[in-house]
Amino acid sequence: MKLPLHTVLSPLLKPNLSSTYTFCQHPIFSGSVFYTYFYGVIGLFVSVHHLKKHLGVIPYDVSCAVDDSIRNIMVLHDLRIISNTLGILQYTSLLIGCATENPGLFLPHLAGELVILVFKFFNIIFLLLTLYNCKSMAKVCDKAASVAVITFNWFQEFCVFRRYLCICDL
């Protein structure tokens, strides 16, 4: 069975299969399957909790809203519901991919986390450019820790993806 987007992924993955195999053989990644299960279950529970918190709650009566800030709060509320729903979808596909050993189901979560990682990295760069007080430095440290954890999670998940990937998928 071919991976979705195999015409895009094959030129990236095929030449690097041996180097990714060597990378994933590092002892840090020895328990990556169990780590991915744990990470997926925790992420699913957090996403469901956040969705339950925001679903059915209207922050303000939008029909009376003439102020743009109230409308912006409602847009932010809707975006939170959308992002939590996408999180549930991503973590569910990650868990089903682990259970069925299907590497194609890892792609939504790998792509989503990579996009988040890129945005956080650029956010750190912009914070470094505007570094002028201790408060900005604390934000940079928080974001750098977040980027480190997301990168570690992404590599763990990629090693599970690589383990379930066979040459016929590319």
4, part of any domain = no
**pLDDT digits over 83-96, tens only?**
889 889 989 988 99
The residue ranges of the chain whose pLDDT is under 50 are: none
23, part of any domain = no
Q: Enumerate helices (H) and strands (E) in the chain, giving the number of each.
A: 6, 0
67, part of any domain = yes
Domain count, the chain: 1
pLDDT at 103 (0 to 100): 84
Domain ranges, residue 138: 32-169
| Exposure of 104 in the CB half-sphere (CA atoms within 13 A) | 9
3-state secondary structure of 71: helix
Cα–Cα distance, 165 to 123 (Å, whole number): 33
pLDDT at 135 (0 to 100): 67
Structure tokens at 74: 């409602």
Structure tokens at 167: 């040459």
pLDDT at 107 (0 to 100): 84
Cα–Cα distance, 62 to 44 (Å, whole number): 30
12, part of any domain = no
104, part of any domain = yes
pLDDT at 41 (0 to 100): 93
13, part of any domain = no
108, part of any domain = yes
17, part of any domain = no
